[in-house]
Structure 1
Amino acid sequence: MAQTPWDKLVFTLENLPQERFKRFKEKLNKLEVDSYKPIPWSQLQDKDAGDVANRIISNYTESVGINVALRVLHSIGEKEACQDLAKALGIFQHTEQPMETDQRDGQHFVDRHRAALIARVSLIDPVLDELLGDGTLTQEQYDTVRSKGTCQERMRQLYDCVRAWGKIEKDKFYQYLLEENGPLVRDLENN
C-alpha cells in the first residue's frame, strides 16, 4: 500500500531527536500562517508524532499543513529532514545555490518578475522570517512589511527594501521564494 503524505510526515517526525521534536512543536505552536490560527500548545505538548501530524493536517488541511511542517523543519535547522520529506512528497528539490536562470539580460529574477511575484506569492511570511533570520531584513523592515494586511501589500512593501539589495541578498530572496512558493517560481522561470 502506498504511503500517504500523513505517513511520510509521521516518519519524518518520529526520526527527529526528542529535543528537536520538542523544538518542532514549540515553533509550530507560535507559527502564524495567513488566515490560520496557531495550534494551541495543549494540543501539542505531550503528543507523539502521529498526534502532531493529525493536528497539523486538521488545523491547516493536508496541502497547507505539509508546507507548514516543511517550513518549521527548515526554521529549526532540520534542513536534511526538510529536504527528505519534500523529496518523498515530490514537492520541491532544494538546491544550495540559486539556479542559473535567476539572472537573464543582466536583470535578476526577483526584479524581472516583480509584478507577477507581488500578484501571485501566497506564502510570504516564511520568506520574511528567513530574510530576518539571515540579517537581510532589519527588525524594523520586517515589522513594517508584516504590518501590511494582504500578501500583495506585504510584497509591495518588501520590494521597497529589495531596490537597495545587491545580488547576494536577491539570491537569498529568490531561494526562499523557491522553497516556499516553488510551483510559482518554476512557472515564472519557464516564461
Structure 2
Amino acid sequence: MSFTVRDALVRNLEELGERNFKRFRTKLNEFPVEEPYRSIPKARLEKADEDDVADLILAAYSNPYGVTVTLEVLRQIDQNQIAEKLEQDLEKASNYKKPSNGDKPAGMMGTQPADTAAEHFVDRHRAELISRRGLVDPVLDALLSRKLHTDEHYSIVRSKTTSQEKMRELYEFSRSWGVGDKDTFYQILRKHNKPLIIDLDRSGSC
C-alpha cells in the first residue's frame, strides 16, 4: 500500500501530543485562508482526532493548498521541527503535488494582470512596499523562522532606523530568492500588512 499525503499528515499530527494538537485545531479554525476557500468550522474540529483532522483538511483545501495551510499552522504554533518532518515525509508520498502558481487561489499571489504575469507581485510593487509605512519587524521575524534570512542578515535589517530603510535593506537580501521564496514573502506580507497588500492588489499599479 503506497504512502500518501493523508498518511503524512496523520503521522505528523500524531507527533504533536494532546496539548499541541488542541492548539493546532484552534489555530486551524482561525487561520486566514485565501479565497475561494473557507475556514473549517470550529464545531467540526473540537472533537476531531488526527485522522479526522487530516480528512477535514484535504476535503476543505485539497492537495496541495491543504498542505500549505497545515505547514503554516504548525509554524504559527511554534512546531517548526514537525513542519520540517512533514515536508520530508511529503516527498515520499505517492500523490503529493508540490504547490505552483496555478494551484494557488488568486489571492495568494496577488492580482497578476496578463501583461505582467511574469513579474512577481513583490518585484512589481517594490517601490510602494518600501515607501509606504508598514509593519516590518514581524515580517522579518517570520522570514527568519522560515529560514529565508540568516541571523546576520536579520540583525543588519533590524538595525535600520525607519521602516523604509528596513524594507529597502530587506530587498537587498532578497535578490537571490526564487519564485517559491517570493511566494512565501508575499504571504507573510499579506498576513502582517493586509490592508496595504489588498490595496496594491486592487490598484494593479506597476
TM-score by length of 2: 0.51
Determine if contact 2:120/2:182 at 8 Å carries over to the other structure: no
131 and 48 in structure 1: CA distance in 2 versus 1, 3 angstrom threshold:
farther
Specify the alignment match of 1:54 in structure 2. Answer: 55
Task: Report matched runs for 1:10-29 at 5 Å.
Answer: 10-29=10-29
The runs of at least 4 consecutive aligned structure 1 residues that moved more than 2 Å come to 114-120, 128-136, 161-164, 166-172, 177-182
Number of matched pairs: 128
Specify the alignment match of 2:138 in structure 1. Answer: 132
53 and 131 in structure 1: CA distance in 2 versus 1, 3 angstrom threshold:
farther
Determine if contact 2:29/2:40 at 8 Å carries over to the other structure: yes
Structure 1: tracts of 5 or more residues without a match? 92-113, 121-127, 137-160, 183-191
SS in 2 for 1:62: coil
Determine if contact 2:122/2:182 at 8 Å carries over to the other structure: no
Determine if contact 1:10/1:49 at 8 Å carries over to the other structure: yes
Report deviation, 1:76: 0.8
User: 1:164-187 CA distances to partner (integer Å, 9 max, x unpaired)?
Assistant: 525457658x88x846847xxxxx
The aligned amino acid for 2:83 is C
Q: Does 1:38 align with 2:35?
A: no
User: 1:72-131 CA distances to partner (integer Å, 9 max, x unpaired)?
Assistant: 01111100100111121138xxxxxxxxxxxxxxxxxxxxxx9324489xxxxxxx9996
54 and 115 in structure 1: CA distance in 2 versus 1, 3 angstrom threshold:
same
Determine if contact 2:136/2:166 at 8 Å carries over to the other structure: no
Structure 2: tracts of 5 or more residues without a match? 97-117, 125-133, 143-162, 185-206
Task: Report matched runs for 1:162-177 at 5 Å.
Answer: 164-167=166-169, 171=173
Structure number, greater radius of gyration: 2
Determine if contact 1:24/1:76 at 8 Å carries over to the other structure: yes
Specify the alignment match of 1:3 in structure 2. Answer: 3
Specify the alignment match of 1:71 in structure 2. Answer: 72
Aligned residues with identical type, % of pairs: 28
119 and 39 in structure 1: CA distance in 2 versus 1, 3 angstrom threshold:
farther
129 and 57 in structure 1: CA distance in 2 versus 1, 3 angstrom threshold:
farther
TM-score by length of 1: 0.54
Report deviation, 1:2: 1.7
